[in-house]
């Protein structure tokens, strides 16, 4: 099955990481900057960024 990537713009990347990992079973793949993180769960990749925190943000 192909990996699906979804990007969410969130106000608080750290709070979003805590929610998705703590409640929905995602795993943190990378968090190289305060305004950007990538999580995964199975074939789903969730990209979190703050407004202005990455390309198109």
- The residue behind tokens 């703050």 is 50
How many structural domains is the chain composed of?
1
How many angstroms separate the CA atoms of 2 and 20, rounded?
Answer: 21
Residue at 26 is within a domain: yes
In tens, the pLDDT along 3-51 reads 999 999 999 999 999 999 999 999 999 999 999 999 999 999 999 999 9
Question: Quick one: pLDDT at residue 52?
Answer: 83
Instruction: Tell whether 16 is covered by a domain.
Output: yes
User: Are 31 and 17 in contact, with CB atoms under 8 Å apart?
Assistant: yes
**Range(s) of the domain holding residue 41:** 4-49
The verdict on residue 23 lying in a domain is: yes
Residue 40 lies in a domain: yes
């Amino acid at each position: 099955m192909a990996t699906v990537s979804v990007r969410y713009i969130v106000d608080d990347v750290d709070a979003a990481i805590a929610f998705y990992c703590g409640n929905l079973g995602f795993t943190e793949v990378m968090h190289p900057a305060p305004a950007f993180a990538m999580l995964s769960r199975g074939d789903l990749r969730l990209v979190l960024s703050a407004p202005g925190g990455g390309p198109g943000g």
